[in-house]
Structure 1
Amino acid sequence: MQPKTDKDLFQFLDHLGIAHSTREHAPVFTVAESVALRDEIPGGHTKNLFVKDKKDNYFLLTVEEHATVDLKTVHTVIGAAGRVSFGRPEKLMDYLGVIPGAVTAFGVINDVEHRVKIVIDEALMGFDVINAHPLRNDATTSIGAKDLLAFIAATGHEPLVLKVAS
């Protein structure tokens, strides 16, 4: 199945009545590269970790960009079967329809079989506005924190808000 595009994402958000704005920029692949945009785009900026446990259960951890996630212990918080490791790029494309460097909470729009559990760090929810890639890494989409949870729920996923970062 062909992954949905940013245009599909925006149409879905519009259909849900969720306000969003998107700013184009040069492609960024890491948090370090994206820091230059902070003065231009207010709100909480995200870092996303696509991980799996030993039973091939997949998780998307969305945290504030400067947060630290302890991969040795996070499994105890998210309900994984043992320690987690990073998921392969092929699975990232198969499940969330994105490439490394463009991982985003919005990727759950492509997970129609609900193979990925999405976990939002509770500290990120302290921001009124959350910024994430719109399925590509040359733009940033801003959305209200509660609206992000509504979007995730509308895709058929249960948005889990847990303390996963320090």
Structure 2
Amino acid sequence: MGYTKEQLLARLQELNIDFTCYDHPVVLTVVEQAKYVGHLGGALSKNLLLKDKKHRLYVVSALTDTKVDMKILSQRLGLGKGGLRMAPEENLLEVLQVPLGCVTPFALINESASAVSLLLDQGFKSKQSCYFHPLTNDVTIALSSSNLDKFLISIGKQPAYVDLEASPAVGKDNPPDLAHLVPSGVLNSSEQPVENVTPTNVLHQNNVPKATEVKAKPKIQSKSAEKSQSKVDKPNNGTSVEKIVNDVFGIISPLFLDEVSKKLNVKKEELSLILDLDGLKGRAAPDLESVTTSLKNASYTAGFHAGFETMRNGGLNSLPSRK
């Protein structure tokens, strides 16, 4: 069980950290949050949970107007151009132990997030107060970057402030400048390989006496059965945020080239050589993925509330009976 909002705020008080709480309705995006606290003059933040190919996790906290290019950031970490992507929702729940819309540096207080790396926008340093959700998105707290540092140091995290918009050359003579921020690669419990599970971690239903164990003969499947099985087992990526973003760019890119070529009277083939569509995608993808994730979360939330209201209004009698 992760920390609660109340436990986090109590921890801040124990550390003598000055902060101000602002209650508001649940918000899923920075735009919605700004409606309630944007006029107060603090620095709003966007927070991303990213994952590399080795399943190492990174929380990137940036000012809302900071442009985060994941391809460039990936290169600066020494992960190559495509080494970073948005982490799946499972990592939010299992590692940070917060739902969608609640990612902030404060989530690193949970022991399960001890191996997560944190990159902070250096722009926070120049702000009098910075705004973050305290593990729940119906509250915003304001505190200075120095007090944020105090909190991070108390949980064993050395604050690392980075110019997230910088694009230094990376090559043989210019090693990645952020390589020291790559986590050690420790896997969380949910990602441990199956062969590393000890007998004490096996579920009780597997602890049957040896005398009653019956070894079943291996089941031989026909080729046709294997094909049908592979079709069934293939995961459905219809709700993948990354897939949606790629599909959007796949639709928009040719339309964009067609319109611009007409306006400038230039052939599309020549225009595609001039315009860096991959670079445009890299700059726009983080914001588009964030919006898409928020919409996905909103759909889940709406569905839950609709189901809950139906059950509450209908009572237990509305539930299907079992015979």
TM-score by length of 2: 0.48
Alignment CA distance shift 1:165-1:27 (3 Å): farther
Structure 2 letter corresponding to 1:81:
L
Contact 1:55/1:81 (<8 A) preserved:
no
CA offsets, 1:8-38, max 9 Å, x none? 1111111111111111001110112122121
The reply on whether 1:32 has 2:57 as its aligned counterpart is: no
The answer (yes or no) to whether the contact 1:13–1:151 under 8 Å persists in 2 is yes
- More helix, by proportion: 2
Cα deviation digits, residues 97-119 of structure 1 (max 9, x gap):
21111111111111455121011
**2:104 match:** 104
Q: 1:14 is matched by which residue type in structure 2?
A: Q
| Equivalence for 1:81 | 79
1: CA distance, partners of 2:91 / 2:150 = 25
Q: Which amino acid aligns with 1:149?
A: D
Where in structure 2 are the equivalents of 1:68-147 lying within 5 Å?
Answer: 68-77=67-76, 79=77, 81-82=79-80, 83-112=83-112, 114-147=114-147
1:46 corresponds in structure 2 to 45
Residues 54 and 150 of structure 1: CA distance in aligned 2, closer, same or farther (over 3 Å): same
Partner of 1:153, secondary structure, is helix
Query: What is the CA distance between 1:153 and its match in structure 2?
Result: 1.4
Q: Point out where structure 1 has 5 or more consecutive residues left out of the alignment.
A: none
Residue 153 of structure 2: aligned partner: 153
Report if aligned partners of 2:107, 2:113 keep a CA contact under 8 Å in 1: no
CA RMSD after TM alignment:
1.5
Q: Identify the structure with bigger relative contact order (alpha carbons < 8 Å, sequence gap 6+).
A: 1
Per-residue deviation, 1:81? 2.8
Dislocated runs of 4+, deviation >3 Å: none
> Considering only CA atoms, is the larger Rg found in Structure 1 or Structure 2?
2
- Output the CA distance in 1 between the equivalents of 2:159 and 2:49: 15
As a proportion of its length, which structure holds more strand?
Answer: 1
Q: Alpha-carbon deviation of 1:80?
A: 5.2
2:96/2:113 contact within 8 Å kept: no
2-structure distance, mates of 1:80, 1:8: 37
2:34–2:44 Cα contact (<8 Å) kept: no
Whether the 8 Å CA contact 1:117–1:158 is kept in 2: the answer is: no
The one-letter code of the counterpart of 2:52 is D
Q: Partners in 1 of 2:153 and 2:74 — Cα distance?
A: 22
CA displacement at 1:126 relative to structure 2 = 1.3
Structure 1 pair 165–105 and aligned structure 2 pair: CA distance change class (3 A): farther
Q: Answer yes or no: is the 8 Å Cα contact 2:96–2:112 preserved in 1.
A: no
Shift of 1:66: 2.1
